[in-house]
A and B are shown apart, each in its own frame.
Chain A
Amino acid sequence: MTLLITVAAVSIGVVLGVPLVVGLRAKNFLVRLVSRGLVDLIRGIPAIVWLFIIYFGVSIGAFRFDSTMAAIVGLGLISAAYFAEIYRGGISAVDMGQWEAGNALGVNRWTTFAQIVGPQAFRVSVPSMTSYAISLLKDSSIASTIGVTEIVFFTTQDARSNDGGLTVYILAAAIYLALSVPLALLARRLDASLRKKVSR
């Protein structure tokens, strides 16, 4: 379940981050302001508070999120905001000269972005993206607070019923470690191979 939530949330974040970063870089001042406000607000409020708002707070008519959906939506939104920032950093890291070259060749702004700047920005962003994904894996533990049946949820149940609890929590911590460390190594390998592609 932990993995499901993490993967779902990351996917949402990766996708939704794009319109957000476009908004951040828009020519229109108002659009920029709204995007900036949205991103800052989402990142400024703790994840658990967002999850609570979505899970406990949202009741449109008869519709209410179930805990898993709430977790995915909430973490997905938060990821989107973080990814938007990462993308923004990636785009500004791409040398100005690339934009100018595209311009000089007569390519329009949108295509320049899609074919020239975008891919390079993406490559630069990958390390930050993977490290964020790994930290999201740990943050998914927060979903337990709204009843999602993931690792910490079971841990807490177990601890309460067996009224000893140290070993169980250590076990939980160990599981998270066991998940995140190999992922971190994988991420490093991915980064290295991407870097090889770019170096001449």
Chain B
Amino acid sequence: MSVIADWIEWLPALAGGLWLSVRITAVSLIVGLPIGLLLAVMASSQNRMARTVSVVIVEIGRGAPALVVLQLFYFGLPSVGITLSSFVAAGSALALTTAAFTSEILRAGLQAVPPGEVEACKTLGVSPRDTLRFVVIPQGLRIALPALMGFSILIFQATSLTFTIAVPELLSQAYSIGATTFNYLSVLVLAGLLYAMITIPASWLVVSTEKKMSRHLSYAR
């Protein structure tokens, strides 16, 4: 049972890495989601310039693999004079990815709000901005919530990619331990289980939230 003993020995280091992964996830979401919402609103606006800019950013953010964006921010930017620390590079690269993907999720959520309500706002004389702010966005966010939660889980998994830009997160810790003990399998499996420990319950949460939402959203007509 030396495997368990090893695992217990490695746990602190791995836990530290895990915590860093969680922090990076939080930063990406906190920065990326508002930008995603902005992009979603721009995408449905009447202004053609706003729509085009939004589409371009979203397509690039979604089309380029997260790994490439990460490396671009960390290795590539210095050549134009912008040097970022690995944490900042990781956070901003993943924030960009978050913004791009969540803008699509949010756009779908905003569009799912019954258009009749927008018409009612028109007839009441409510300004388009107020309509967005008080009627469409609150409901759109609620509709998009399960999908956003699902996406957050994916971003958490993506933090493992920051290993390549020297972020000492969970995978990185596991790899170093593996490199020194030559026992890669055991430590990597432990790391995998640690990831799963967070992602699997999180996805159960998503499913239960989805169920709760669909109960709420069906109202008497």
Contacts and interface: CB of A to CB of B under 8 A. Distances in A.
- Which of B59, B77, B192: most chain A Cβ within 10 A? B192
Contacts of B178: 56
Contacts of B203: 40, 43-44
Contacts of B67: 141-142, 144-145, 152
Interface in B151-193: 157-158, 160-161, 163-164, 171, 174-175, 178, 184-185, 188-189, 191-193
B21 to A, nearest CB: 10
Contacts of B80: 166
Contact of B77 (A160, A166, A176): A166
B68 A48 contact: no
A138 interface: yes
Interface residues of A, number: 41
A125 B200 CA distance: 24
A177 B59 contact: yes
Interface residues of B, number: 39
Contacts of B65: 138-139, 141-142, 152, 173, 176
A119 interface: no
Interface string B63-88: 11111110110011111100000000
B7 interface: no
Contacts of B163: 48, 145
Interface string A167-185: 1111011001100110000
B200 A57 contact: no
Contacts of A155: 68, 71
Given A46-B157, A144-B67, A181-B63, A53 B189 contact: yes
A141 B68 contact: yes
A172 B193 CA distance: 32
B195 interface: yes
B171 A46 contact: yes
A53 B185 contact: yes
B14 to A, nearest CB: 12
Contacts of A12: none
Contact of A44 (B59, B71, B188, B195): B195
B60 interface: yes
A199 B39 CA distance: 35
B71 A169 contact: yes
B139 interface: no
B72 A152 contact: no
A43 B192 CA distance: 11
B131 interface: no
B188 A169 contact: no
Contacts of A83: none
19 contacts: A41-B196, A44-B199, A45-B196, A46-B160, A46-B161, A46-B171, A49-B171, A57-B185, A59-B185, A139-B65, A141-B68, A145-B164, A152-B68, A165-B79, A166-B72, A169-B76, A172-B68, A173-B60, A177-B64
Given A46-B158, A52-B171, 5 more contacts: A40-B203, A45-B195, A172-B68, A173-B69, A181-B63
Interface of B: 59-60, 63-69, 71-72, 75-80, 157-158, 160-161, 163-164, 171, 174-175, 178, 184-185, 188-189, 191-193, 195-196, 199-200, 203
